[in-house]
Amino acid sequence: MVILHNDFRVFWRGRLSYLQTFLGSNGFRFWAVELFGEGSPYTFDTYENTDECWHTCLFPHNSSEDITKREIEKAVLIELDRLNADIIIGPSIVFYAGALGVRWAKKNKRKFIMFDDARHLQVKRNFLIQWIKDKLIKQADGLWFPSEDYKKDYAYFHRKGIYFFYGYNCIDNQLFKFNGEKKLDNNVIVCVARLVPIKNIDNLLKAWQLVEQKNTDYQLVIIGDGPLYPDLIKLKEDLNLKKVSFIGAVANSDIPAYFSQADALILASLSETWGLVVNEAMAGGLPLLLSSYINANQALLAEGTNGFSFNPFDINGMSEAILSFIGLRIEIKRKMSVHSTTMIDSMSYEKMGTQLIGALRDINNKKMRHPDPIAFALLNLWSGQYNKSGWYK
């Protein structure tokens, strides 16, 4: 099998390494094909050309803007011809890797699995564009989602007989586990986010002003960098905030140390297809304060059990959620911490591997899904894209 993606940065690295070993021990040959070595939103995580024969990058020194669509198409299809896998796994058909992966699979009568963490109706499209996208998704033999709550968003495709399975949006939980009893008397709430508009840090600062007015002695530590940094520093000063610290960008390997000194994670995003920092924080034993617009919220936050949710547009509601957590007795906070750790154990590398093995065997035994003439024409017309416009919103 081949897993194909525009880039395999940050969270994908560990997953791929685990899957290569796990699948190999279960009789599967596994390759990972990465399209671009440059142009990732995770600029702090650069592509490193390794000697791993199972992992290749087609354009290690280029981003998608450096290459023509025709060059991308040609390179991907030649590589898939060379590997000649039985099953192709790729991202949404919106992207180059997904569109070209499903085209090659259907042309060569192979199975295709699409992974996606966006809710089906999360991106508004006109009727024609949505119809075309749905037509192409229906060519997939399997859909791989982060969690079972996605099933209702994609119910239409399930009724069409596409195989559903779950669990790919996981991290190496052990890297973030806290050794010993988690202390929750640090009076620190941490936020890890790029400093871009969609992360809603401005509203978080305005909500924190209301928190400071209650003289709670809590600190807000914001980890991350981005184009809004100067504006947010000015807003902090304008709001006269005394207990807010901007740390800047931090290597992922250093995040556990910050989690160990915090009492909760807060994420105020206006939209988030998942939010893997939530997994990391839970593995580190942190209770959660999450925007209701974060997809991970639905699967990983149990209201009042391991944290609280809030409407990210409601500054008063956000501050009330923060103050609700701050006001809890320490033993309740400890119970929340334990619940976070226990809940995230259900999303692990081991669970991902086990579910993937079961899906591969089931899908391999299912009848091939053949495209109708319209779908076949669309598959040959659409090569995908690498739309970065949402990264800086």
Which pair of structure tokens corresponds to residue 378?
């669309």
DSSP H/E element including 11: helix 11-25
pLDDT at 117: 93
Count of residues making up the chain: 393
Confidence of residue 182 (pLDDT cuts 50, 70, 90): confident
Confidence of residue 253 (pLDDT cuts 50, 70, 90): confident
Res. 26: pLDDT tops 50: yes
Which pair of structure tokens corresponds to residue 28?
């599967």
pLDDT at 364: 92
Percent pLDDT > 70 in the chain is 95
> What's the whole-number average pLDDT of the chain?
93
Res. 392: pLDDT tops 50: no
Same fold, 2-170+348-392 and 173-344: yes
- Among 43-52, 77-86, 236-245, 379-388, the minimum mean pLDDT is found in 43-52
Res. 389: pLDDT tops 70: no
Cβ neighbours of residue 286 closer than 8 Å, sequence gap 6 or more: 190, 259, 262, 263, 264, 265, 337, 340
Tell me how many degrees the CA angle 320-206-327 measures, rounded to the nearest 5. Answer: 25
Q: How far apart are CA 193 and CA 266, in angstroms?
A: 10
Q: How far apart are CA 332 and CA 229, in angstroms?
A: 35
Confidence of residue 23 (pLDDT cuts 50, 70, 90): very high
* Contact present, 11 and 51 (Cβ < 8 Å): no
- Report the topology of domain 2-170+348-392: Rossmann fold (3.40.50)
Res. 81: pLDDT tops 50: yes
pLDDT digits over 367-384, tens only? 988 999 999 999 999 999
One-letter amino acid at 156 equals Y
Of the chain, the end-to-end C-alpha distance in Å amounts to: 35
Q: How far apart are CA 161 and CA 176, in angstroms?
A: 38
Residue that has been written with the tokens 């040609």 in this structure: 74
Res. 47: pLDDT tops 90: no
- Report the topology of domain 173-344: Rossmann fold (3.40.50)
Q: How far apart are CA 229 and CA 246, in angstroms?
A: 9
- Among 44-53, 200-209, 239-248, 323-332, the minimum mean pLDDT is found in 44-53
Number of C-alpha atoms within 13 angstroms, CB side, residue 383? 11
Residue that has been written with the tokens 């081991």 in this structure: 350
pLDDT at 391: 45
* Contact present, 121 and 146 (Cβ < 8 Å): no
Domain positions in the chain are 2-170+348-392, 173-344
